[in-house]
């Protein structure tokens, strides 16, 4: 079956999370992603729990559907190999420190002369301009400086992080959006010129902070941490159940608030002056949450889910990885897939998101061993001979 990005070729020069996550998404939808690793491999291979093959389970997902080559970019010969490749690809994804690829003659200015139609996507901590341009930037720094850490957590405790690399994953999404926008314009515009997509981790985090900046710029309001409460609408929180589980309830529209009070057999609360409007419910959210928490503590989680689902109040359990994999909806949507790994190893992972009805994405294989496709890629695109490959390998240029 044809896929959405069939015929699009991408060269991934990034490591760890942001650029490789973007490459994974594009590869899921049919792009031919050629990932370039250093000779000792992407550091992500050793992040987290390791599979029997010696690479992390995370790596298996992150590098699925990609062709893997290992080239020593610190050598002039390695740089020349990549220059021959860039003339034959549509997109470059990179998240190395600003200026590094320029020093290797693989920056946007050099590459766009070799390939005038290239879409060059650069992901960095702070973007390619400004006084912070040359600073190293990781996802946790972006989350701190992008505002999300300051507003995450409880007011009487230090700021906390989410349990994933949020800054990197948001930057990956922005990189995919930028690449697809640039490809569309290139292929449907009159000029078909190269484009440099500049993605900053910090700005990617800022892009999801909703009213944080407008409220300060226009009304000098500094948003503070509010725990699990939704700051601008109520009630919306996480509540303990009788069986020591947790349930999230979102009843922050007039209709769902009325339905929740009906389910709780406390419909008189709807007429209480403190709770008749959303602004009132927000001001008195702590009181409202105490009332709701007292009610949820009398029921087991499954009982609450049955009550709230029947009456039409949005609710859901706080789920662990085990809960998610066993969930009926996850199973019905076939969200967990098992695909071929290294050797005879089968690897389970989350499936492709989003879903397209006519040209869906597919997982064809998991991330593999270092340099497993080096020979085939260099023979295909660089016209490397067997003798070239032997000489380059002996010289420490490829693996």
Task: Delimit the domains of the chain by residue range.
Answer: 9-208+333-394, 236-240+246-317
Distance CA 235, CA 292 (A): 9
> Whole-angstrom Cα distance, residue 43 to residue 165?
15
Helix (H, G, I), strand (E, B) or coil at 19: helix
> What is the predicted pLDDT for the residue at 230?
81
Local structure of 398: helix, strand or coil: strand
Q: How far is CA 367 from the centre of its chain?
A: 17
Long-range contacts of 276-281 (CB under 8 A, 24+ apart): 278/233, 278/234, 278/252, 278/254, 281/233, 281/234, 281/235, 281/252, 281/257
| pLDDT for res 192 | 81
Beta-carbon count within 10 A of 355 CB: 9
For tokens 């009456």, what's the residue? 311
Q: Where are the alpha helices (DSSP H) in 273-383?
A: 278-283, 285-296, 301-311, 321-326, 328-332, 374-381
28: annotated active-site residue: no
CB 86 within 8 Å of CB 115? yes
Q: Say if CB 95 and CB 12 are below 8 A apart.
A: no
Query: Radius of gyration over alpha carbons of the chain, in Å?
Result: 25
CATH superfamily of 9-208+333-394: Crotonobetainyl-coa:carnitine coa-transferase; domain 1 (3.40.50.10540)
Q: What are the φ and ψ backbone dihedral angles of 68, each rounded to 5 degrees? A: -110, 125
pLDDT at 53: 84
pLDDT at residue number 258: 96
C-alpha 283, offset from chain centre: 34
Spell out the per-residue pLDDT of the chain, length 399, in tens: 678 999 999 999 999 999 999 999 999 999 999 999 999 999 999 999 998 888 999 999 999 999 999 999 999 999 999 999 999 999 999 999 889 999 999 999 999 999 999 999 999 999 999 999 998 888 999 999 999 999 999 999 999 888 899 999 999 999 999 999 999 999 997 878 899 999 999 999 999 999 999 999 999 999 999 888 887 889 999 999 999 999 999 999 999 999 999 999 999 999 999 999 999 999 999 999 999 999 999 999 999 999 999 999 999 999 999 999 999 999 999 999 999 888 778 899 999 999 999 999 999 999 999 999 999 999 999 999 999 999 999 999 999
Q: Who's near 176: CB < 8 A, 6+ residues apart?
A: 22, 25, 26
Question: Measuring CA to CA, which residue among 275, 281, 269, 159 is closest to residue 231?
Answer: 281
> Which of the residues 32, 42, 90, 168 is marked catalytic?
168
**pTM of the predicted model, to two decimals?**
0.92
Domain range 236-240+246-317, its CATH number among 3.30.1540.10, 3.30.420.40, 3.30.1360.80, 3.40.50.10470: 3.30.1540.10
**Does residue 302 have a cis peptide bond before it, meaning omega lies within 30 degrees of 0?**
no
Closest CA to 284 of 275, 293, 276: 275
Half-sphere exposure (Cβ direction) of 389: Cα atoms closer than 13 Å: 17
* Enclosing H/E stretch for 318: none
Give residues with Cβ within 8 angstroms of 141, minimum separation 6. 125, 167, 201, 202
- The pLDDT of residue 146: 94
Contact 279, 288 (CB under 8 A): no
Residue 9 has a CB neighbour count (10 Å cut-off) of 15
Instruction: For residues 201 and 140, give the distance between their C-alpha atoms in angstroms, rounded to a whole number.
Output: 9
Residue 36 is predicted with a pLDDT of 98
């Amino acid at each position: 079956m044809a896929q959405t990005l069939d015929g699009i070729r991408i060269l991934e020069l990034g490591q760890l999370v942001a650029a490789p996550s973007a490459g994974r998404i594009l590869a899921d939808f049919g792009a031919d992603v050629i990932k370039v690793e250093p000779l000792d491999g992407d550091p992500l291979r050793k992040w987290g729990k390791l599979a029997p093959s010696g690479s992390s389970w995370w790596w298996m997902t992150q590098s699925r559907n990609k062709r893997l080559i290992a080239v020593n970019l610190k050598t002039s010969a390695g740089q020349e190999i990549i220059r021959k490749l860039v003339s034959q690809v549509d997109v470059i994804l990179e998240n190395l420190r600003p200026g590094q690829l320029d020093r290797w003659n693989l920056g946007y200015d050099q590459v766009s002369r070799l390939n005038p139609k290239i879409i060059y996507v650069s992901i960095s901590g702070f973007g390619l301009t400004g006084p912070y341009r040359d600073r190293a930037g990781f996802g946790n720094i972006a989350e701190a400086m992008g505002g999300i850490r300051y507003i995450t957590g409880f007011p009487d405790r230090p700021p906390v992080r989410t349990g994933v690399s949020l800054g990197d994953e948001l930057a990956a999404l922005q990189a995919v959006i930028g690449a697809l926008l640039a490809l569309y314009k290139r292929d449907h515009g009159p000029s078909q010129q190269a484009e440099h997509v500049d993605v900053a981790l910090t700005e990617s985090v800022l892009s999801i902070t909703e009213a944080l900046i407008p409220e300060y710029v226009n009304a000098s309001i500094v948003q503070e941490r509010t725990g699990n409460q939704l700051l601008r609408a109520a009630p919306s929180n996480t509540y303990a159940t009788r069986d020591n589980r947790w349930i999230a309830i979102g009843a922050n529209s007039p209709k769902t608030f009325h339905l929740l009070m009906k389910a709780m057999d406390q419909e008189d609360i709807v007429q209480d002056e403190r709770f008749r409007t959303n602004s009132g419910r927000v001001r008195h959210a702590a009181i409202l949450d105490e009332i709701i928490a007292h009610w949820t503590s009398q029921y087991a989680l499954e009982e609450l889910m049955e009550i709230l689902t029947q009456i039409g109040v949005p609710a859901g359990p706080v789920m662990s990885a085990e809960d998610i994999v066993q969930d009926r909806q996850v199973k019905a949507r076939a969200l967990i897939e098992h695909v071929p790994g290294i050797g005879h190893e089968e690897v389970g992972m989350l499936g492709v998101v989003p879903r397209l009805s006519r040209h869906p994405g597919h997982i064809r294989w998991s991330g593999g061993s270092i340099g497993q496709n080096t020979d085939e890629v260099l023979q295909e695109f660089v016209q490397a001979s067997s003798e070239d490959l032997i000489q380059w390998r002996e010289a420490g240029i490829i693996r």
